[in-house]
Amino acid sequence: MTSLIELTAVSKTFGSGADAVHAFGPVDLAIEDGEFISFLGPSGCGKSTLMLMIAGLLEVSEGDIRLAGQTVAGPRTDIGIMFQDNTLVPWRTVQGNIELQLEMRGMPVSKHGARIDMLLDSVHLKDFAERHPYELSGGMQQRAAFCQAMVHDPKTMLLDEPLGKLDAMTRESIRKDLQALWMQQRPTVVFVTHSIEEAVQLSSRVAVITPRPGRIEEVIPIDLPFPRDLDVKNSSEFARYVRDIQEIFRGYGVI
């Protein structure tokens, strides 16, 4: 695999002078084409800040970020991005919300009907295509938001704690759907989370981020088979990865 995203001495400081807050970095990291990497760290460590800088929604203070060889100098339209709070608009149906992403990019909706159907079917929402967001559970809304972020076939997905507000059973179900989509289409996924178990379950690598100012303490390859079902999660190898990461955060007094 080749590097799709390259971070070189990237750091972020908010404010200036006596009021300056060093939020993140410096960090060097190469993210490979087609991998699923998680940024794992405690609240306030700067992991979401890093994701926003990769998306071009926040300027770096120092350093350089390159996506597919090009310096990120502003918002990117060729990526898929999803936040903890979904961006579904209430006056459109599920299908209408997904189509909105195409309309905003000037892409013909009529040519993407099969892809919309495939995405809805993959997350078990095909029977709810004509429902409005208020008619769906929180988990179903997040599934619709995944389709919304994927409909233009992005090669890079940036997901900022998209499962953080869901109950445990719903999170587990959506993790399975997300993993299946990644295995099928292999976009490069940057996933922000503070859940150790979630990071180990989903990722090919986990970037462990220290408390603020966030730095990458270690990048851990997760050598477990996909799909990571309950048998994998219940294995001694899975438990060992979780324990090893817990020990890193224990050393920082986080847990």
Write out pLDDT tens, residues 132-175. 999 998 888 988 988 888 888 888 999 988 887 778 888 888 88
Q: Which residue has the tokens 């438990």?
A: 239
Q: Cα separation of 96 and 124, whole Å?
A: 17
Q: Are residues 169 and 195 in the same domain?
A: yes
Q: How far is CA 8 from CA 16, 83, 224, in A?
A: 22, 25, 29
Q: How confident is the model at residue 66 (pLDDT cuts 50, 70, 90)?
A: very high
What is the model's pLDDT at position 164? 77
Q: Cα separation of 223 and 236, whole Å?
A: 13
What does the block give as tokens for 193?
A: 């989370």
Instruction: Tell me the sheet residues that pair with 24.
Output: 12, 214
Q: Are residues 69 and 174 in the same domain?
A: yes
Q: pLDDT exceeding 90 applies to what percent of the chain? A: 52
* More confident of the two residues 190 and 20: 190
Q: Are residues 125 and 229 in the same domain?
A: no
Q: Are residues 173 and 234 in the same domain?
A: yes
Q: What is the mean pLDDT of residues 45-72?
A: 91
Q: Are residues 165 and 242 in the same domain?
A: yes
What's the chain's average pLDDT? 90
Write out pLDDT tens, residues 187-218. 999 999 989 999 999 999 999 999 988 999 99
Q: What is the mean pLDDT of residues 67-84?
A: 87
Of the residues 136, 154, 172, which one is the last residue of a structural domain? Answer: 154
What is the model's pLDDT at position 235? 95
Q: Which residue has the tokens 């817990």?
A: 246
Task: Reply yes or no on whether the pLDDT at 104 is more than 60.
Answer: yes
Q: Are residues 72 and 198 in the same domain?
A: yes
Of the residues 154, 176, 195, which one is the last residue of a structural domain? Answer: 154
What does the block give as tokens for 125?
A: 């929402």
Q: Are residues 60 and 166 in the same domain?
A: yes
Q: Are residues 64 and 161 in the same domain?
A: yes
Q: What is the 3-state secondary structure (H, E, C) of the chain?
A: CCEEEEEEEEEEEECCHHHCEEEEEEEEEEEECCCEEEEECCCCCCHHHHHHHHHCCCCCCEEEEEECCEECCCCCCCEEEECCCCCCCCCCCHHHHHHHHHHHCCCCHHHHHHHHHHHHHHCCCHHHCCCCHHHCCHHHHHHHHHHHHHCCCCCEEEEECCCCCCCHHHHHHHHHHHHHHHHHHCCEEEEEECCHHHHHHHCCEEEEECCCCECEEEEEECCCCCCCCHHHHCCHHHHHHHHHHHHHHHHCCCC
Q: Are residues 128 and 165 in the same domain?
A: no
What is the model's pLDDT at position 78? 83
Domain that holds residue 169: 3-78+155-251
Most confident of 14-23, 223-232, 236-245: 236-245
Query: Around Cβ 198, how many Cβ atoms within 10 Å?
Result: 20
What is the model's pLDDT at position 1? 52
Q: Which residue has the tokens 């997901």?
A: 159
Of the residues 127, 154, 181, which one is the last residue of a structural domain? Answer: 154
Q: Are residues 200 and 149 in the same domain?
A: no
Domain count across the chain: 2
* More confident of the two residues 238 and 73: 238
Dihedral sign, CA of 30, 251, 159, 71?
Answer: negative
What is the model's pLDDT at position 150? 85
Query: Around Cβ 165, how many Cβ atoms within 10 Å?
Result: 14
Q: Are residues 245 and 165 in the same domain?
A: yes
Q: What is the mean pLDDT of residues 95-120?
A: 90
Q: Are residues 228 and 165 in the same domain?
A: yes
What CATH number corresponds to the domain at position 203?
3.40.50.300
Q: Long-range contact list for 237-246, CB < 8 A, 24+ apart?
A: 238/200, 238/201, 241/200, 242/196, 242/197, 242/200, 244/220, 245/40, 245/196, 245/199, 245/200, 245/206, 245/208, 245/220, 246/196
